[in-house]
Amino acid sequence: MAIKVVVIDDEPAAIDVMKYYINMTPSLDLLAAFSDSGEAVRYCMQQQEIDLIFCDIEMPLLNGLEIAGHQKGKTAIVFVTAYTHYAVEAFNLNVVDYLVKPVRYERFLQAVNKYKEQNAVSEEDHFFVKTGVKGCLEKINIADIIQVEGAKNYVTIWHGNMKTMTLLNLKDLEARLPGRDFCRVQKSSIVAIKHIVGLKGGVIALSNGQLVPIGPTYKEEVVQLINSRLIN
């Protein structure tokens, strides 16, 4: 499956270079390119199929660092900039790579391959967890997961008609889940987007009957996610 890409840069010539490189790379599919960062952010809020954003940093209205912060890890980002002094701040945002203009195609490919390596785990359709019985493991199909709830060093996984508790860090488990299919709705809870059946008064209803309050930190992101699929 092709990696769906968006380009954001206020310089038309830089956009042309990225378009050329993307068209040369069979594994990439260019969805859109923007010279207006505000327009780009609005598009990204509504489009749930973006895998990777190639983004300039110094731009009018919203700079690349602000755009990366807005994404909150939802979409992978590669910065493409003429400046080196943003590198530390950029990598603190967990971006995939940092390309300095002018960018050679070989260097561009390195960033693409780095993204592929980082996301190879997301292509898995299952994983195993330890149960309370010594020496026993339980298989969890990712497609069956409805909700994951963390409590200290334990997580509880609701999958299908089952509930499994295991000694695991919620952050580590989140890294194994495909970002486009799951959404963190509070500090201790991640839900499968396809199992959200309703939203009322700041509470999400899931297909298994569970009601999960949305945490204040995640409210804007969750509401945007729901609104992006709202038919007026």
pLDDT tens per residue, range 123-167: 578 899 998 788 889 999 999 999 999 998 899 999 999 999 999
- 11 plus 96 within the same structural domain: yes
Which helix H or strand E contains 103, and what residues bound it? none
Residue 121 in this model has a pLDDT that exceeds 70: no
Q: Which of 99, 121, 143 is the last residue of a domain?
A: 121
| The pLDDT of residue 145 | 97
Q: Which of 67, 92, 121 is the last residue of a domain?
A: 121
The answer to whether residues 127 and 164 touch, using CB atoms and an 8 Å cutoff, is no
List the CATH number of the domain containing 80.
3.40.50.2300
Q: Which of 121, 141, 172 is the last residue of a domain?
A: 121
- 207 plus 100 within the same structural domain: no
Domain hosting residue 59, numbered range:
3-121
- 73 plus 92 within the same structural domain: yes
- Low-confidence winner among 12-16, 52-56, 192-196, 219-223 (lowest mean pLDDT): 219-223
Total domain count, the chain: 2
- 91 plus 117 within the same structural domain: yes
Radius of gyration of the chain (CA): 19
- 13 plus 31 within the same structural domain: yes
List the CATH number of the domain containing 159.
2.40.50.1020
- 82 plus 44 within the same structural domain: yes
pLDDT digits (tens, 9 = 90+) for 160-200: 999 999 999 888 888 788 777 888 899 999 999 999 999 88
Residues 6+ apart with CB under 8 A from 182: 145, 148, 174, 190, 191, 192, 193
Q: Average pLDDT over the chain, rounded to whole?
A: 89
CA distance 17 to 97: 17
- 86 plus 154 within the same structural domain: no
| The pLDDT of residue 18 | 97
Q: Please indicate, yes or no, whether the overall pTM of this predicted structure exceeds 0.75.
A: no
- 63 plus 140 within the same structural domain: no
- 158 plus 83 within the same structural domain: no
- 103 plus 209 within the same structural domain: no
The answer to whether position 232 is within a domain reads no
Residue 1 in this model has a pLDDT that exceeds 70: no
